[in-house]
Chains A and B, each alone.
Chain A
């Protein structure tokens, strides 16, 4: 597979009278052809800055970027016809209808007007195409934004929070649409906060925190890299938790006592747990391996897991050294 999008060492510093802030600090990203690639990061981590920089809206302070093998922003006018994108919340002129909006974009980009009807049908706006955009719900505007990105029938589709404002049915439709587009050969880069969705539809992910890449690779690889062999153990009586923890520590396990269960790790075979507890006359009511999901990996890597009694601020995320996961430029 060839890389459709490559970013290496991207840097962007915003300067204002209040001082300077590094939005991107040597960020790397590689997206292979034909994949649905998830782009994850907490608020203020640099996701939108990355996408805006990639699309020529922001000038970087350093680094290299290519789209479809061409260096951008220099070659952006040539590759723009193959890139469909929505960045941040969808914004359209409220007094135009969806049809007018797309028709004007089609004119500006030299796209056949027949394509306007195709994409309106594709995103489910056919029957509301003549209504003014200002009468649309957020979800409908989101559909229109996706339609505008699809209008060029792009090779690379970049969508920033496409499920934002969609109802559950809409989210599922969007998921199916993304998969169908990827199956038709389109590469899709998807930025989202709905990690369950990303895990369901993405082939690979890049996680960004504080302007740096903290994880990248296929979803399975990222999960495997951060998987733990923890086991959740419940016993018949909560009063026996403390004694049970002691018994398990004696056989070399690491134990965390939770209010109604134990989290046990460092044990090769779960049967050792039942054997050790039964020997003390304690009987196990639940023994379940804890599977790691993208959300827990995300929270761990970005340091954004909620802590009781603390109020995390927007820019408060993990300062993790840039990880050379799956290499950087050209790898």
Chain B
């Protein structure tokens, strides 16, 4: 317990941790503020104003069409098409909803906000996790610690445990604040209509999956930095993964016309994890149906499938870092 307490203290005392958490919180606050100021509540006045604007546009279009028709009938040969086939605006072309100000519909839009939160916190967790152990290796602090507690796996495991518990606590707190703030934004600049207990539960589960993503990112950053004994190792590996597995692999697979190539790229799996499922369509295929015509092949990636991949990667990287910690000479 004393080692766990020491590692938690070490993590929270680090200036890098504090600055990075503060920076992330400020960024999240900026997003909340941006959403607050860019949305408006829908009132009878805004509805009337939008209807009036649509009506004015419709009348303007009618006037313009009439002028065109008059010009055409005066000189029919100059017109590229017959005068009775000129465009005549309809009422449906000018809908009031297009003139409505942006409004924050919690039920419709909060899902994207949860994904944003999870993505930002995951980046933060990755960097903090990498730095927490990478700086210890690089500065020699890990060797000092092992002189005190010559139990390598226990030391690394406790360090990882302290990191993940701290990240979990932070994510739970920030997620609660995030939900509360956006509920406030919705009530002041939008609507909470349709938020049944089932909808709240669905968002709570989505935030729980977001927590899983944050913990995963923190553990991967920690594992990679421990393998390379340097923070830069984790950051380099992440950069390399983006270049190789996103741009490089994506291009090669596209050239090779591989079916469902998105399934080989990371974002689809994280999206499937957060959104419960993602459907990938192969537009080159055609399954003819008498009623629907050409129906392309689809592949659905579900959140349990994505979760399985995340766990496999986690076990591989953290397991490798533990194995090298156990067997390597510390020089």
Binding site for B on A (CB under 8 A): 52, 55-59, 73, 76-77, 80, 85-87, 90-96, 100, 104-105, 107-110, 148, 152
User: Is A59's CB under 8 angstroms from B329's CB?
Assistant: yes
Residues of A within 8 A of B148 (CB): 80, 105, 108-109, 152
A93 and B136: CB pair below 8 A? yes
Q: How far is the CB of B138 from chain A (nearest CB, A)?
A: 9
9 contacts between A and B (CB under 8 A): A57-B146, A77-B151, A91-B139, A91-B140, A91-B141, A92-B140, A107-B6, A108-B6, A108-B148
B289, CB-defined interface residue at 8 Å: no
* Interface residues of B, dominant DSSP: helix
A58-B330, A92-B141 known, 4 other contacts, Cβ within 8 Å: A55-B150, A93-B135, A96-B13, A104-B9
- Taking CB atoms, residues of chain A closer than 8 Å to B3 are 107-108
Q: How far is the CA of A59 from the CA of B324 in the complex (A)?
A: 13
Question: Are A105 and B13 closer than 8 Å at their CB atoms?
Answer: no
Residues of B within 8 A of A (CB): 2-3, 5-7, 9-10, 13-15, 135-136, 139-141, 143-151, 327, 329-331
Known A52-B331, A87-B143, A91-B144; judge A109-B149 contact (CB<8 A).
yes
Contacts of B150 in A (CB 8 A): 55-56, 73, 76-77, 80
- Verify B143–A108 contact, CB threshold 8 A: no
Complex CA gap A55/B150 in Å reads 8
In the bound complex, residues from chain B placing their C-beta under 8 Å from that of A105 are: 6, 144-145, 148
Measured CA separation A96–B10 after assembly (Å): 9
Q: Which residues of A contact B15 (CB under 8 A)?
A: 95
- A85→B147 contact, CB < 8 A: yes
A91–B143 touching, CB < 8 Å? yes
Q: How far is the CA of A96 from the CA of B9 in the complex (A)?
A: 12
- Within the complex, the shortest CB–CB distance from A101 to chain B, in Å, comes to 9
Residues of A within 8 A of B9 (CB): 104, 107
Q: How far is the CA of A55 from the CA of B7 in the complex (A)?
A: 22
Closest to B8 in A: A107
A104/B6 in contact, CB under 8 A: yes
Contacts of B141 in A (CB 8 A): 91-93
Q: Which of B2, B10, B331 contacts A109 (CB 8 A)?
A: B2
Contact A95 B14 (CB under 8 A): yes
Which A-chain residue is minimally distant from B142 (CB atoms)? A91
**A100 is contacted by which of B13, B143, B145, B329 (Cβ under 8 Å)?**
B13
B135 / chain A contacts, CB cutoff of 8 Å: 93
Chain B residues with CB under 8 A of A59: 327, 329
Bound-state Cα–Cα, A109 to B145, Å = 9
A57 in contact with B13 (CB, 8 Å): no
> Please, how many angstroms separate the alpha-carbon atoms of A58 and B148 in the complex?
15
With A76-B150, A108-B2 in contact, is A57–B144 under 8 Å at CB?
no
With both beta carbons as reference points, the residue of chain A lying nearest to B14 in the complex is identified as A95
Question: In the complex, A58 Cα to B143 Cα: how many Å?
Answer: 11
User: Nearest-CB distance from B44 to chain A (Å)?
Assistant: 58
Q: Tell me the bound Cα distance from A73 to B9 in angstroms.
A: 29
A92 CA to B331 CA in the complex, in Å?
15
